[in-house]
Structure 1
Amino acid sequence: MNNDEIFDLVGYIMASEYRTKILKSIGENIKIPSAIAEEIGLRTNHVSNVLKDLKDKNLVVCLNENARKGRLYKNTDLAFEVLKYL
């Protein structure tokens, strides 16, 4: 991915306080939406919606996609590139 694409994603993340907080909350860990929600003070369903958007942008990955509850999320290498600028 080139710098222009990275900076487009940085702008996308910075445009939303929620996206920024969620990426930072996950960090180098693996987390479930309810833990992220509790940590940053959002409702779990809102966190889940943002995670879906971040997944669509290849910034997070769900490790157990078939689980109905307790889905595990982690940041991708691309997310770590973006986080350098936040």
Structure 2
Amino acid sequence: MSKNDEIFDIVGYVMASQYRCNIIKSIGENIKIPSAIAEDIGLRTNHVSNVLKDLKERDIVICLNEDARKGRLYKNTDLGLEILKYI
């Protein structure tokens, strides 16, 4: 599988969910906490957190302060920024 095929597989996965698309767009090139993302896109924070966990497992976003109980900071990885170009 070529690098492009891998990217398009992941882009397809992200585009299959409006929530995933909106969260990646909301973060953009910034660093955000889940409650700010939730407010930005009109979702409950717990739902945003669940989607972030899923995106993190696929290396699309990264949590910068994993040990924090509150105020976890998320940003798009290089892969996440690459996906952002297509959505």
Give % identity. Answer: 78
| Number of residue-to-residue matches in the alignment | 86
Deviation of 1:84 after TM superposition, in Å, equals 1.0
Q: In structure 1, how many angstroms separate the alpha carbons of the residues matched to 2:86 and 2:53?
A: 22
Aligned to 2:85: 84
**Could you state the TM-score of these two structures normalised by the residue count of structure 2?**
0.97
Runs of at least 5 residues in structure 2 that lack an aligned partner in the other structure = none
Q: In structure 1, how many angstroms separate the alpha carbons of the residues matched to 2:62 and 2:19?
A: 17
**Could you state the TM-score of these two structures normalised by the residue count of structure 1?**
0.98
Runs of at least 5 residues in structure 1 that lack an aligned partner in the other structure = none
Aligned to 1:44: 45
Task: Kindly report structure 1 stretches of 4+ aligned residues shifted beyond 3 Å.
Answer: none
Q: Is 1:3 matched with 2:15?
A: no
Root-mean-square deviation over aligned CA pairs = 0.9
